[in-house]
Amino acid sequence: MNNNILIRNAAAIMTGLPGSKARSSARDIRIESGVITEMGNGLPPLPDEEQLDASNCVIYPGWVNTHHHLFQSLLKGVPAGINLTLSPWLQAVPFSYRRGFDEKRLRIAVRIGLVELLRSGCTTVADHHYLFQPGQDFDAAAILFEEAHALGMRFMLLRGGATVTRKLEADEKLLQATETLDQMLSSVQATAKYFHQTTPMAMSKVAMAPTSVHVSLPKQELKEVARAARSMGLRLHSHMSESVAYIEHCREKFGCLPIEYLARNEWLGPDVWLAHLVHLSPEEIRMLGESRTGIAHCPQSNARLADGIAPAPALAKMGSPVTMGVDGAASNEAADMISELHFAWMLHRAQAGALSRARPEGLGEEGGDATTVEQIIHWASQSGAQMLGFEGVGHLSAGMAADLAVYALDDPRYFGLHDPAIGPIASGGRPHLKWVLCAGKVILEDDLPTGLDLERLGIQARAEVQALLVLQN
């Protein structure tokens, strides 16, 4: 396809910007060499342009997924963990199966997860990969970047790992060797040197991301890791406050709450975002907001594991950047961005309504505006791209990267919409994707990623699941 593209006649365009700029009055988008150069109505085609007819379609910015575990794409619906909370689920599923991920199996799992995300309109993925051990005979980081590159997606490695063994992994069947601090830092530095791009509209980045920083590193290493990351120009990421067990651990071990522990050890700031953040005190919310520390909000995984509901709207009001993450498919079998955003839009309204009180004790019915479609889109696009440090990416306007999804609302679930612009979020389901573009290139057409055999991928997935079951037995 031509490098110059004119998308015409869209029913609506959502920009990903906040507030009054969330909706564009334009219906056409002109793209030259991967960049949006013009948005308007009735734009005349130029002689060298490929034209895409978006009649009866809505255009959204490509989604930015700020927290995932792609290796878990072969661990969906594991019976041993389907009805467990976080701690026993970790033991029964990811810790129990992780030894089975060799180079081939990891590559297939990563491909499945990326394709699932792409088919929901996602163009940027930040994957929190933590299967790094001394003596590993393959480069897991390279596999992740290679698979994303093959699909034409932007990718950020959240380089996880640990230098200590946590209590949950102490069982002989679950135990795996950990890295030393020097091994972890030197590996991150080497990976960043090769893959971390700092240019505008970069396609690949790296972040320092010890898996769960309160248990993955001893206290004396926290500041050293944070300072090392910042000296390399890398951002910081980790799981935090996902369940009440985080509070219990930090109270017992450090005599404080989790966010207080991070604050004491240089792990808060505008270059830090944390996955989950479900259980927070009012003081912790204030600390996160004042430091501009971000959240990767993963509501479906949090519901699936009975973690609870993260106070994302409250964090946003306090100044914390709110972004959206799908988390791993082993704790979120609906591991795509559309289902995540539909759920997030409804969840906080339900929570606000549940907290309402009848008059005169309360204010009566409340919560219908707890989250708006426009706000959810902003969290999952511009806010996410800014948090990850992808400059020039994340919303639709002239001068920005042409990362976008064209949704055809041709399923009966979208018929009758008075406002087609909200269809992909409000109506749920997975809208038919006519095109997904990343950096101005069409990487998906009519629901199919370019150059990918979905039937073959399905056959490979089933074979690898069977192989994992054999290994477990």
Angstrom distance (rounded) from CA 311 to CA 279? 8
- Check which CATH number belongs to the domain holding 319 and give it: 3.20.20.140
63 vs 9: CA distance, rounded Å: 22
Flag whether 127 is in a domain: yes
On whether both 333 and 442 belong to a single domain, the answer is no
The verdict on 304 and 411 lying in the same domain is no
The answer to the question of residue 456 being in a domain is: no
Taken as a whole, the chain contains a residue count of 473
The answer as to whether 179 is a domain residue is yes
Instruction: Give pLDDT, residue 207.
Output: 98
Assigned token pair, 194: 């090769």
Structure confidence at residue 120 (pLDDT):
98
- HSE at residue 224, side-chain half, CA atoms within 13 A, is 11
Please list the ranges in the chain whose pLDDT falls under 70: 1-2, 170, 172, 174
The whole domain housing 422 covers 4-62+391-449
Does 411 lie in the same domain as 263? no
* Same domain flag for 168 and 218: yes
335 and 414 both lie in a single domain: no
pLDDT at residue 473, as a whole number = 79
Residues 247 and 186 in one domain: yes
Residues 433 and 334 in one domain: no
The answer to whether position 368 is within a domain reads: no
Q: Which residues pair with 35 in a beta bridge?
A: 32, 401
Q: How far apart, in whole angstroms, are the C-alpha atoms of residue 40 and residue 44?
A: 10
Would 463 be classed as within a structural domain? Answer: no
Are 305 and 169 members of one domain?
yes
Domain-embedded: residue 455: no
End-to-end alpha carbon distance in the chain: 49
User: How far is Cα 94 from Cα 472, in angstroms, rounded to an integer?
Assistant: 12
Q: How many domains does the chain have?
A: 2
Residues 54 and 69 in one domain: no
Q: Spell out the residues 6+ positions from residue 111 whose beta carbon is closer than 8 angstroms to its own.
A: 147, 151, 457
- Report the CATH number at residue 53: 2.30.40.10
- The predicted-structure confidence for 260-305, as pLDDT tens digits, reads as follows 999 999 999 999 999 999 999 999 999 999 999 999 999 999 999 9
Say yes or no: 350 and 413 in one domain: no
Residues 25 and 78 in one domain: no
* Residue 363 domain flag: no
pLDDT tens figures, 171-203:
767 677 889 999 999 999 999 999 999 999 999
Do 151 and 197 sit in the same domain of this protein?
yes
Question: Do 97 and 78 meet the contact criterion of CB atoms below 8 Å apart?
Answer: yes
- Is residue 168, in this structure, part of any structural domain at all? yes
